[in-house]
Amino acid sequence: MGNWIINNGLTSLILVAWMGMNIYLFVSSYRKYDLDDEFYYTRHLLGSALAWARAPAQVLNFNCMLILLPVCRNLLSLLRGSFVCYGKSMRKQLDKNLTFHKLVAYMIALMTAVHTVAHLLNAEWFNNSRQGKYDNLSTALSNLGDAKDTAFLNPIRKKDIDPQQIPTYFVCTSIAGLTGVVITLALILIITSSMKVIRRSYFEVFWFTHHLFIVFFAGLVFHGAGRGEPKTWWWVIAPMVLYLCERIVRFIRYTQTVTYRKIVMRPSNVLELQLVKKGFKMEVGQYVFINCPSISQLEWHPFTMTSAPEEDFFSLHIRSAGDWTDKLISLMEQLPEGAEGPKLGVDGPFGTASEDVFDYEVAMLVGAGIGVTPFASVLKSIWYKMKGSDPKLRTRKIYFYWLCRETYAFEWFVDLLQLLEREMEERGMGHFLTYKLYLTGWDQSLADYFNIKFDEDKDVITGLKQKTNVGRPIWDKEFEQVCGENPTSVVGTFLCGPEALAKSLEKKCAKFSDVDPHKTKFYFNKENF
């Protein structure tokens, strides 16, 4: 239990507080509409559906206030810098922004479903009461307000009664009903297009439908006002203003000129761009969003920078992974020798978990395929710090694991590893970096070839002294080695890779951590953007 608390304690506390607030708002609002004398006659018309409609509405207000905050990337980067003195656990919460964004979205979807069903029942019972299908009191209450300029409880008036009319007609001709339909349709499109299979295979569909949030929030404000309850506006005005400021900052960054320093095509259809932008400053492992108007004026895609803060440019390695990246790579390949590339917009940089690597005395870096990009930035920065003998470097040991399916993928950054290997030998610091490369896609003939060449001084794939391993790491063995070599250290474990690997490493961090302050502890960090 203690091991689990080290990595998940604060996260769980935040989730409990969020869920507790949801429950409190639901229960308090439900009791108000179910018990207060103020709503006695309305309850006679509608029964418990009144409370079941209004209670989810209060929860919706709360979560609609929260939903935009986790995607205000500039705000999160600012907070990450402000939290530097509050410890690793607090900053780690900012790296879970998209997970929290999804949780809030699920709550909005659930409460919208309950709210909608309850209001459909309300419309049915209002209609039946107006037509005298219930008791005399219900009929009398529905007749209130028939005189001109007088108040009424039942929004369905005498003039609306038609033998052919159904409650759906009333729902679709009132402000609350119309905006409710628009909000619900927008929400359905946003959530369904956010499914992993859509995001990965049809990113453009996800991107465009996700921007229906503008329609959603506009409808939300009018929906509350249409019911005579402008309280929704009070909940969402602050995050809407914050998000508007976020978009203004992004637009200003878009207008700033970006120039090309170098364009290189790497193996395995990977494009390397070295870019320069006036006033651009970064930290290790950060990412930027890229827009190429020649491909799409509206689409922005995130990429981790592979350069170091010490360099006078920033670089990106972009793998072919969909229509947009395919078009960008094709554009670059067709450029004449020495020609300037197409106009690019760059938004960022934005903070990630990898920023905190140098806050740990020991770090485990795990990259899968192109997921090596944030650690390329870290390793380059280490090389510069060693060249400059940086006295502020707190980290004393780094374990680097790189998993690739194809042999040629290692060529992306093998020159960097060769530089580090040579630099550390010259400085007598061979102990500082332990790196292990794993080829996960292989067959028996390739394994046999490795065995034949095993006795050679350098690896047959990378040319490094460290030999490439065939297969996947045995993580229990790796964690045991780190514990044995660092018996009293706090170890930061960083991953940029698939979710299955993340779950495995998170379990290992919990398994091998010890609550004893004098023993090894592992803090798990994953790239999310």
pLDDT (tens digit, 9 = 90+) per residue, 321-337? 778 888 999 999 888 87
**Using CB atoms within 10 A of its CB, is residue 161 exposed (0-12), middle (13-18) or buried (19+)?**
exposed
- Which pLDDT score, from 0 to 100, does residue 23 have? 96
CA quadruple 107, 108, 113, 119: dihedral positive or negative? positive
Q: Which amino acid, 98?
A: L
Judged by DSSP in three states, 364 sits in strand
Q: Is the pLDDT of residue 114 over 90?
A: yes
Q: What is the mean pLDDT of residues 20-31?
A: 94
Kindly state whether residues 517 and 399 are assigned to the same domain.
yes
Provide φ and ψ at 283, rounded to 5°: -120, 165
Confidence of residue 454 (pLDDT cuts 50, 70, 90): low
Confidence of residue 292 (pLDDT cuts 50, 70, 90): very high
d(CA 130, CA 138): 8
Say if 499 falls within a structural domain: yes
What is the tens place of the pLDDT at every residue in 342-372? 999 999 888 887 888 888 889 999 988 877 8
Q: Is the pLDDT of residue 161 over 90?
A: no
CA 319 vs. chain centroid, Å, equals 20
Single out the residue in 329, 350, 371 at which a domain terminates.
350
Q: Are 100 and 70 in contact (CB under 8 A)?
A: yes
Q: Is the peptide bond prior to 155 cis by the omega test (within 30 degrees of 0)?
A: no
Percent of the chain with pLDDT over 90: 22
- Which pLDDT score, from 0 to 100, does residue 498 have? 86
What is the tens place of the pLDDT at every residue in 387-421? 766 666 778 888 989 888 777 667 767 777 777 77
Kindly state whether residues 110 and 14 are assigned to the same domain.
yes
Q: Which residue(s) pair with 277 in the sheet?
A: 258
Q: Is the pLDDT of residue 4 over 70?
A: no
Kindly state whether residues 399 and 474 are assigned to the same domain.
yes
Q: Are strands 362-368 and 490-496 parallel, antiparallel or unpaired?
A: parallel
Kindly state whether residues 238 and 285 are assigned to the same domain.
no
Edge-to-edge strand list for the sheet holding 301-304: 301-304, 287-291, 345-350
Higher pLDDT, 527 or 505: 505
Say if 327 falls within a structural domain: no
Confidence of residue 59 (pLDDT cuts 50, 70, 90): very high
d(CA 486, CA 521): 10
Percent of the chain with pLDDT over 70: 82
Single out the residue in 250, 274, 291 at which a domain terminates.
250
Kindly state whether residues 303 and 380 are assigned to the same domain.
no
CA angle 12, 112, 213 (to 5 degrees): 85
Confidence of residue 126 (pLDDT cuts 50, 70, 90): confident
Single out the residue in 204, 221, 250 at which a domain terminates.
250
Say if 382 falls within a structural domain: yes
Q: What is the mean pLDDT of residues 494-514?
A: 87
Residue 507 parent element (H or E) = helix 499-512
Q: The tokens 């500039």 sit on which residue?
A: 74
Q: Provide the domain count of the chain.
A: 3
d(CA 125, CA 167): 9
Range of the domain at 283: 255-321+343-350
**Using CB atoms within 10 A of its CB, is residue 295 exposed (0-12), middle (13-18) or buried (19+)?**
middle
b or e along 413-433 (b: 16 or more beta carbons within 10 Å of the residue's beta carbon)? bbebbeebbebbeeeeeeebb
* Alpha helices in 67-159, H assignment, sequence order: 73-82, 88-94, 97-130, 136-143
- The CATH number for 263's domain is 2.40.30.10
Kindly state whether residues 244 and 269 are assigned to the same domain.
no
Provide φ and ψ at 335, rounded to 5°: -70, 140
Kindly state whether residues 246 and 260 are assigned to the same domain.
no
Count of CB atoms within 10 A of residue 477's CB? 8
**Residue among 366, 359, 353 nearest 479 (CA):** 366
Kindly state whether residues 382 and 516 are assigned to the same domain.
yes
Q: The tokens 């920023």 sit on which residue?
A: 355
Say if 274 falls within a structural domain: yes
Kindly state whether residues 467 and 416 are assigned to the same domain.
yes
CA 238 vs. chain centroid, Å, equals 21
d(CA 492, CA 508): 12
Q: Are 248 and 292 in contact (CB under 8 A)?
A: no
Lowest mean pLDDT among 62-71, 144-153, 458-467, 470-479: 458-467
Kindly state whether residues 165 and 48 are assigned to the same domain.
yes
- Which pLDDT score, from 0 to 100, does residue 84 have? 55
Say if 338 falls within a structural domain: no
Say if 222 falls within a structural domain: yes
Kindly state whether residues 44 and 186 are assigned to the same domain.
yes
Q: Are 506 and 524 in contact (CB under 8 A)?
A: yes
DSSP states of 245-307: HHHHHHHHHHHS-EEEEEEEEETTTEEEEEEEETT----TT-EEEEE-TTT-SS--EEEEB-S
d(CA 510, CA 512): 6
Query: CA dist 346 to 21, 157, 292, 315, Å?
Result: 38, 56, 9, 12
Lowest mean pLDDT among 107-116, 123-132, 178-187, 309-318: 123-132
CA 289 vs. chain centroid, Å, equals 13
Q: Which amino acid, 43?
A: R
Q: Is the pLDDT of residue 452 over 70?
A: no
Judged by DSSP in three states, 489 sits in coil
Higher pLDDT, 483 or 145: 483
d(CA 126, CA 155): 8
- Which pLDDT score, from 0 to 100, does residue 356 have? 82
Kindly state whether residues 235 and 263 are assigned to the same domain.
no
d(CA 392, CA 477): 32
Say if 335 falls within a structural domain: no
What is the tens place of the pLDDT at every residue in 416-427? 777 777 777 777
- Which pLDDT score, from 0 to 100, does residue 285 have? 85
